[in-house]
Chain A
Amino acid sequence: MNLLDLLSSLFFDYTLRTVALGSATLGILSGALGTYAVLRKQSLLGDAISHAALPGIALAFLLTGSKAPLVLILGAVAAGWLGTLLVMSIVTTTRVKDDSALGIVLAVFFGFGLVLLTFIQKKPNAAQAGLDKFLFGQAAALLERDVVTMAGLGALVLVVVLIFWKEFKLLSFDPEFGASLGFPMRALDILLITLLVTAIVLGLQTVGVVLMSAMVVAPAAAARQWTDRLGVMVGLSALFGALAGVSGAVISSTTARLPTGPTIVLCITAIVAISITLAPNRGLVWRWVRHQRNRRRLRVEAVLGDLYALASQHDEPDHGHSIAVLRAMNRGRGGVTHSLEQLEERGWAHQVGPDEWALTPAGLAEAQRQFGRHREASA
C-alpha cells in the first residue's frame, strides 16, 4: 500500500477513519492531562486510575444492562475517581506512603474488576460479549458514536483546563503558596484529578486499562524534553499523543493481526526514545556532546597550567618540557597531545624540540591570568 492509498483510506475508509479519529482524541486528551500528572509527580496515579476503572465498567453494565458508551464511561469515571480519593485518603490518614497506597488500590480494584468480568462472562446472556475489550483495548471496535462521545467529553475537559489555567499552574508548581493566596487547592486538586480520570477513561476502550498509563506518562515525558514552558509542553504533549494515536491506528490497519492499542503505545514509546536522545539541551546526545566539550576544555586548561608550573621553575621561558613529563602530570586524564595541539592553535604553546613543548609569551600571559590570580585569591 503506498502513501497515497493510505491517506485516502484515512479519509474515506469508515473504519480506519473512526479508529484514527478516536485514537487521536485519546492521544490529545491523555497527552494534555498527563502533563499535569507528570509535573506533579503523579505518573503512577494514571496507572491506578485506569486499573481502578475496570470494576466501574463492569458494575455499570451489571446495573443497567446497557453497553452505551456514556453509561460505561460514567461507571468507569466513578470507579476511577473513587480509587483516586481512596489513595489520597490512605496517604493522609495512615502512615502508608503514596506509592504503596497506589499499589494497593490498583491491585484491589483491578482484581475486583477481573472477578466481575469473569462473572459477567459466565452469565447466560449474549449481550455481555465485548466487555473484556477494556482489558487490552480494541480500537477496531470503535463506532462513530463512541468517537462522538469521546470528542464531546474531551472538548469539555480541555475547556475546563483552559478556564482554570492559572489555578492549575499554581497547583502544579506551588500549592502551598496558592493556598496562602486563598485558592482552595484541595478542591482544585480534586477537579484536576477528575479531569485526568475522564481523560483516562475515554481512552480505555481503545488502549485498555493495562496500557493506558503509558498514554498518560509518555507524551508528557517526551514533551518535557523539548520545551521549558508549560503551555508549549501541554500542546506538544497533546500533539505527540495524537501523532502516536493516528500512526498506531494506520500501522495496525495495514498489517494483519496487529492490535491497535499496543501499536499506539509502541508509537509513543518511539517518540519518547527520540525525544530523550535527540532533544536539544535535555537530550542525551546533546548532553554527551557538552560533556565531551567540557572535558576537553578542562584538559587543555590542565596542560596549560602544567606548562606554566614547569616554566616557573626555569629561568629561561623557552626551555622545553617533554611530553612524557606532561603525560605523567596528567595521568588518568589523557589527551595531552591533543591538548598541546589546541594550545598551539591558540598561539599559547609551541614545540621547541622533538617532543618538547614550551609556552609562548601569549600563553604565559594567559596562564598568569588564569592561574596566577587564582593562586593569589586562594592564598
Chain B
Amino acid sequence: MNDESRVIEVSDLTVAYRDKPVLWDIDLDVPSGVLMAIVGPNGAGKTTLIKAILGLIRSAAGQVLIYGKPYSEQRRLVGYVPQRESVDWDFPTNVLDVVMMGRYGHLGWVRRPGQDERMLALEALDKVGMRPFADRQISQLSGGQQQRVFLARALAQDAQVYFMDEPFQGVDATTERAIVSLLQELRAAGKTVVVVHHDLQTVPEYFDWVTLLNVRRIASGPVNDVFTEENLRLAYGGRVAFLRGNGGSGAHENGPTPPETYDEPARFAQ
C-alpha cells in the first residue's frame, strides 16, 4: 500500500516489556494533514506507541512506514517533541542552543551548526513566541517556556510529520493557547501532527482525528465518528463519566487516578 495520502502506516505493532504486552497488534493509518490525538488511560501505551514508531523502543513485531518507507529512511520528514520531563533542565546551555539541536540531523556527523542553523532556530523561536529568550539559560525557564522551546526545536527540524508527547502537560493557559494555534498553523501548512493527549474534554476542540488506545487499538478515525461514548467506555472501562453536550460528545475522566502518564513508560526510557 503506497498511497500518497497515508502518512503513517502501522501494522501489527506489538511491544512487550518482559512477558507483559504494552502494545498489542496495533494497526494505524494516519492520513495527511490531520491533527491526531492519541488518548487512553494510564499505562495504555500512548508514549510507547510514539516511541515504537520512532524506533526508540524495540518492538516485538510489526512494521511502521512513514510516507510508504521505513522510518530509518524518512527521518528528515519527522519531527519529535519528547516529554518535557525527560531531560535535565539544569544542563549548562541556552535556549538557542537547544533549538539548534533540531538541525543536528540535517547537519549529519561532525559538522557544527553555523549561521544558517542559527537563523532557522531563531525563526522557530519566533513561531512559539520565545525569540526574546534566545540567550536565556534553560534552567531559568518556566514549564510552559520549556515546552515551547521543545516545540521550537521540532519546528527547526522542518519536518512533514510531528510526534509530540504530552505537549500540554503542566503548561500555563498562555502556552496552551500558543500550542493550539501552532498546531493549527502546522495543519494549514499541510503537516501531519500526532499528539499524545490526556485531556479528553479538549479533544473535539483541538483535534480532527483521534486514536483511542488501551494496549490494543480501540478505535481510530475522525473525531466526529470515533470519539463516541461507546469507544471511550471501551478504552477507559468504567472510569469515565460522560457529559452529554448539545451535539458534541465531550467526556471527562472521573476515575480515582488523576489523568497523568508519567508512570507509564518510565521503565522504557532506555
- Residues from chain A with a CB closer than 8 A to the CB of B72 are 182
Tell me which of B22-30, B100-108, B125-133 binds A.
Answer: B100-108
Asked if A68 is at the interface of the complex by the 8 Å CB criterion, the answer is: no
Contact call B110/A180, Cβ cutoff below 8 A = no
B63 within 8 A of A: no
Interface size range of chain A in the complex? 20 to 34
Q: Which of A224-238 contact B (CB under 8 A)?
A: 224, 227-230, 232-233
**Residues of chain A within 8 A of B105, CB atoms compared:** 181-183
Q: B56 touching A174 by the CB < 8 A rule?
A: no
Residue in A177, A183, A232 whose beta carbon sits within 8 Å of that of B82 in the complex: A177
Contact B92 A170 (CB under 8 A): no
Find out whether the CB atom of B137 lies under 8 angstroms from the CB atom of A228.
Answer: yes
Cβ of B78 within 8 Å of any chain A Cβ, yes or no, is yes
The reply on A99 being an interface residue by CB < 8 A is no
Residues of A within 8 A of B82 (CB): 174, 176-177, 180
B91 contacts A229, CB within 8 Å? no
- Once the chains are docked, how many angstroms separate the CA of A163 from the CA of B109? 9
Instruction: Tell me whether B87 and A173 are in contact (CB under 8 A).
Output: yes
Contacts of B94 in A (CB 8 A): 228-229
A181 touches B56 (CB 8 A): no
Docked-complex contact B80 and A182, CB < 8 angstroms: no
CB nearest neighbor in B for A180? B80
Residues of chain A with a CB closer than 8 A to B78's CB? 180
- Say yes or no: is A167 at the interface (Cβ < 8 Å to chain B): yes
In the complex, the answer to whether B91 meets A39 with C-beta atoms within 8 Å is yes
Given A163-B110, A172-B91, A228-B137, residue A179 in contact with residue B104 (CB < 8 A): no
**Which residues in window 63-114 of B have CB below 8 A to A?**
72, 75, 78, 80, 82, 86-88, 91-94, 98, 101, 104-105, 107, 109-113
B104 touches A181 (CB 8 A): yes
* B107 CB contacts on chain A under 8 angstroms: 166
The contact string, 1 if C-beta is below 8 Å from chain B, for chain A 147-177, is: 0000000000000000111110110111011
- Which residues of chain A (185-217) have a CB below 8 Å from chain B? none
In the assembled complex, the Cα of A173 lies from the Cα of B56 at a distance in Å of 16
A232 vs B139: C-alpha distance when bound (angstroms)? 17
Contact A167 B56 (CB under 8 A): no
Chain A, Cβ-Cβ closest to B79: A180
Interface residues in B175-198 (C-beta closer than 8 Å to A) = none
- Asked if A178 lies at the interface with its beta carbon under 8 angstroms from chain B, I say yes
Complex Cα spacing A318 to B269, Å: 65
Asked whether any CB of chain A lies closer than 8 Å to the CB of B170, the reply is no
A174 touches B87 (CB 8 A): yes
Question: What is the bound-complex CA distance between A164 and B54, given in angstroms?
Answer: 24
**CB pair A170 B101 closer than 8 Å:** yes
- Please list 29 pairs of residues, one from A and one from B, whose beta carbons are closer than 8 Å in the complex, sorted by A's number: A165-B112, A166-B112, A167-B109, A169-B93, A169-B101, A170-B101, A170-B104, A173-B87, A173-B91, A176-B51, A176-B56, A176-B82, A177-B80, A177-B82, A177-B101, A180-B56, A180-B75, A180-B78, A180-B80, A181-B75, A181-B105, A182-B72, A182-B75, A182-B105, A183-B105, A227-B92, A228-B93, A228-B139, A229-B93
List residues of A whose CB falls within 8 A of some B CB: 39, 41, 92, 163-167, 169-170, 172-174, 176-183, 224, 227-230, 232-233
Interface residue ranges, B against A (CB under 8 Å):
51, 54-56, 72, 75, 78, 80, 82, 86-88, 91-94, 98, 101, 104-105, 107, 109-113, 137, 139, 153, 269-270
